[in-house]
Chain A
């Protein structure tokens, strides 16, 4: 019978990219009866993006020495793929040093023995940290967006006050009216106004 943990947590699909078949088998058996389901791919190098798109894995595990790492790097920058936690296998010798480089929260390293029960906890931690990081990032983006919009509105207001000799209250009201009349957000109206004033200068 699976442990209660496995029942409670939702199953996660792992895409494993590894040319070392023995290691892949050991990894798979270490995750037997866990919430992780492993799809294995030998490094394809040309079809990886297609596979990621097809399998939509929750997490990707790859050998740190695989050339395919650069394809994974591009997932978040060049394509419309959702970011995913990436966990890497690496040799014993690089242990402490490589671990120092895990700061971004988007990756973790499995060092040395992949068959141990430690693997599961590393994956759990990587997923948890990744989710936390994504959450923080979303919050940051939202805060930044709010600040930007505030800044735009202030700038448009200031332009109206100086160019049209309006009081602050009048400038704000006219911005709000323009937004309501045109069915746009105030920040969009502000952006249009600013570029308009810039062209007139």
Chain B
């Protein structure tokens, strides 16, 4: 091991259901088995998590899948050379409407509000949008967690699938996940796209109806990745490799449904999500809570910790990055011309993953 490879690693995570691979690797001793000491550091905002990574306060962290790309491009701040060698999770988000909006949608579209056909087509919102326009009311307000997030792009894609133009027909703003349910309660937003446990929470307290999951919108795209500075990887190749091996063990452990309930119990701890099993467990077990006293939907892929297919892996294929870059372009976030640059493969480092798991990929 190189000299910088010895100290405990400082790893950042956000208190969300899909922090499971990091929490499981720590609590089940996979990090220790792979010869590294890890301190998990809970963070309150993506922006601060990113800044701490950049400043070296954190060595690596759970990041929104589009974030390292946005930082590499200097979108929304300084250009930073982040990379990811490992996809931590796939899917996991949902769109929840306030009970009030949902009632309006069902009544204006003459649907039964107690036997909802899910996923709800976005075009059913148009009747409400039209009615508000006629009455001179403000636009519907939706929230998402960060400008460069799958949540934002998924919300936009879902709205566009119903010929609703984000920004023009409805407003979209950023609110931290921990404040989403309060915003729904106050009526300051009419709906949001967020990850677990914040969809289930709104349903459990009778404030929201989860009408669509991210796997209904995009099948099996990365949601969170392990982010780090390129320079950290260069100087700590052994630690990085051990980290990937431990996380691989955690993701394989999480593939088994019986283990998922155990993971949920661990995640509920004060040190991690500090939440009730009632809202953490369902998504991990493939259950999407829809509405209070309505049967949940069975969504086996609601939270995935490896890719789908016959040989699941966590390889950060540059193809995923291309998908996010195209969404940055279509949403107007990315205006510079990046043709001729190989940003996808520079940030999504499939080569690093393949270097560690050559055997597995060849099997």
Residues of A within 8 A of B (CB): 45-47, 49-50, 64-74, 76-79, 94, 97-98, 100-101, 103-104, 106
Contacts and interface: CB of A to CB of B under 8 A. Distances in A.
A74 B173 contact: yes
Contacts of B333: 77
A70 B55 contact: no
Contacts of A71: 173-176
A101 B176 CA distance: 23
Contacts of B52: 94, 98
- Among B54, B77, B145, max chain A CB count under 10 A is at B77
B57 interface: yes
State the main secondary structure of chain A at its contact with B: loop
B5 interface: no
A97 B333 CA distance: 29
B51 A101 contact: yes
B56 interface: yes
B55 A100 contact: yes
A40 B153 CA distance: 33
Contacts of B175: 45-46, 71
Nearest to A109: B51
Interface string B172-200: 11111011001100101100000000000
B182 A45 contact: yes
B173 A79 contact: yes
A103 B78 contact: yes
B188 A68 contact: no
Nearest to B54: A101
21 contacts: A45-B178, A45-B182, A46-B175, A46-B186, A50-B188, A67-B178, A67-B179, A69-B45, A69-B47, A69-B48, A70-B47, A71-B173, A73-B47, A73-B174, A74-B174, A78-B152, A78-B172, A78-B174, A94-B57, A104-B77, A104-B78
A174 B153 CA distance: 44
Contact of B44 (A65, A94, A104, A106): A65
A73 B146 contact: yes
B57 A66 contact: no
Chain B interface size band reads 20 to 34
A76 B176 CA distance: 17
Contacts of B46: 70, 73
Given A45-B175, A74-B146, A77-B75, 6 more contacts: A45-B179, A67-B45, A67-B179, A71-B174, A74-B173, A101-B78
Contacts of A98: 51-52, 55, 57
A103 B75 CA distance: 14
B147 interface: yes
Nearest to B74: A104
B49 to A, nearest CB: 10
B172 to A, nearest CB: 6
A74 B70 CA distance: 13
A94 B44 CA distance: 16
Contact of A64 (B48, B152, B186): B48
A97 B55 contact: yes
B147 A74 contact: yes
Contacts of A94: 52, 55, 57
A7 to B, nearest CB: 35
Contacts of A49: 173
Top 8 A-B residue pairs of the complex, sorted by shortest distance between their CB atoms:
A45-B179, A74-B174, A67-B176, A69-B45, A77-B147, A46-B183, A104-B78, A97-B55
Nearest to A103: B78
Given A47-B188, A74-B146, A97-B55, A68 B78 contact: no
B178 A70 contact: no
Contacts of B147: 73-74, 77-78
B275 to A, nearest CB: 15
Given A49-B173, A104-B78, A67 B55 contact: no
Contacts of A67: 44-45, 176, 178-179
Nearest to B188: A46
Interface in B142-189: 145-148, 152, 172-176, 178-179, 182-183, 186, 188-189
Contacts of B145: 70
B8 interface: no
Nearest to B333: A77
B54 to A, nearest CB: 5
Nearest to B172: A78
B45, B146, B148, most chain A CB atoms within 10 A:
B45
